[in-house]
Amino acid sequence: ELKQTPPHCPTLAACNKPLALIPRDWVRESRILLSMRLIDGKQIEKVETGASSEGPLKSVEEWQDYLEEKYAESENEKSVKGNWATNADKKKEEFRNYQDNPRFERVRNFYMENHKNQTYDFVLKMEKKYSRLNRMRMGVWEVLELLDTYIDDSDPDTNLSQLMHSLQTAEAVRKKYPGEKYDWYHLTGLIHDMGKFLGAVYGEKQWCVVGDTFPVGCRFSEKIEFSKFFSLNPDFYDEKMKTKLGVYKKNCGLKNVRMSYGHDEYLYQVCVQNKTTLPQQALYIIRYHSFYPWHKEGEYMYLCDDTDVRMLKWVKDFNQFDLYSKAAEIPNKKELIKYYKGLIDKYFPKVLNW
C-alpha cells in the first residue's frame, strides 16, 4: 500500500487515506518519502521544518527567530552558559536584521494571517476538531523521529533537525538543572515543540501551528507582535470582546481562558488526555511557552489566578532555553537516546492518542 502514496507527498495529510486508518508501520516508512521528496524530477535529501504547512513563512521556525532577535539583549537569556547555550558574547548587531531581510516580510505576512484568523469562534472550532485525539496512535519517541524528518534550511543559526534542536534544548536545561529531581524539566525541553505535529503531519496552516499565543474573547494587547493587524480580526469590533475582560472574569485563571490555537494547546491536551505524570510546572511550560505577551511583557495578569502567578516563574525560566539553546555543538543522539527514552517511559504511556 505504501506504493500507492503519491511519491511527491510532503506530508501524511496529503495522502489519500484518512489518518486514523494509516497503519503505524506506514507512518514510519512514510518518513522515507518525507525526506526524499521529488521536486521537478530531482531528489532532495531533506525537507524544511514545517514545509508542509501552508503559509508565508519559509519554515515555521521563522517567527521564533524573529523573537530571538527581539529579545537578544535580555539578561535572562544571557544567564545560560556553557556548550549548550547561544554565544553570550554575540553583539546585538550580529543577530539577523529582519528589517533588511526578505524574511521580515514573510514574518510580517505570517502575523497578519495569524491575527486576522485567530478568532474566538475559530478556537472553538479547532478545539472541537482535535479534542478527541482519535486520529493516530504513536509513541512519544516515534513522533520525535517523525518530526526529525523536517529540517529548517532557512535558519543560519542552525542546520539541525527538529529532534537535534529539541535535544539541544533538553541538554541546556539539564546542564543548569542536573539530577533526577529535575528530570521532568529535561524531558519538557525535549518534547515542548511536539505539538508542531499539527503542521508536519496534519497539514494545518502555519498561522494556527506557531506564533505568539494570546487570549481570544477579550481585548488584544498592544504588546502582541504586530498588534495593528488585529484590526482585520472581527472580534476586534465585537462590543463584548473588545473590552478588557471580554467574556472572562477578573482573576478567573488562565485555565478558564481560551488561547489562540496552536502547537502549545494541542500538545498540552495530548499530555493531559494521555494521563502523563509530568508535574504542573511542565504542563504550564508546554501550554504557555509561546504566550510571550504574558511571560515576556507582563500582560494579562488581571486574568491570572494564584496558581498562574506561581507557575509564571517556570515559564519565564524555560524561555531562555527555548529561544537560546542553539549551539555549534551537535548533540550525540546515540549517547542521549537511552536517557531520554527512559524519561519518556517514566512519564508517558507506551502509546499515545494523537
pLDDT in tens, 154-177: 333 445 677 888 999 999 999 999
Q: Is 13 in contact with 202 (CB distance < 8 Å)?
A: yes
221's grid cell:
494587547
Q: Comparing 38-52, 133-147, 306-320, which segment has the lowest mean pLDDT?
A: 38-52
- Rounded to two decimals, the pTM is 0.77
Specify the residue for cell string 524530477: 41
Q: What is the pLDDT, as a whole number, of residue 70?
A: 60
pLDDT at 236 over 50: yes
Q: Which of 35-49, 92-106, 335-349 has the highest mean pLDDT?
A: 335-349
Q: Which tens digits make up the pLDDT trace of 29-81?
A: 444 344 333 223 333 233 333 344 556 766 656 656 666 666 654 544 444 43
- Phi, psi for 318 (deg, rounded to 5): -65, -25
Q: Whole-number mean pLDDT of the chain? A: 78
Mean pLDDT across 16-38: 40
pLDDT at 289 over 80: yes
The closest of 6, 290, 348 to 143, measured between CA atoms, is: 348
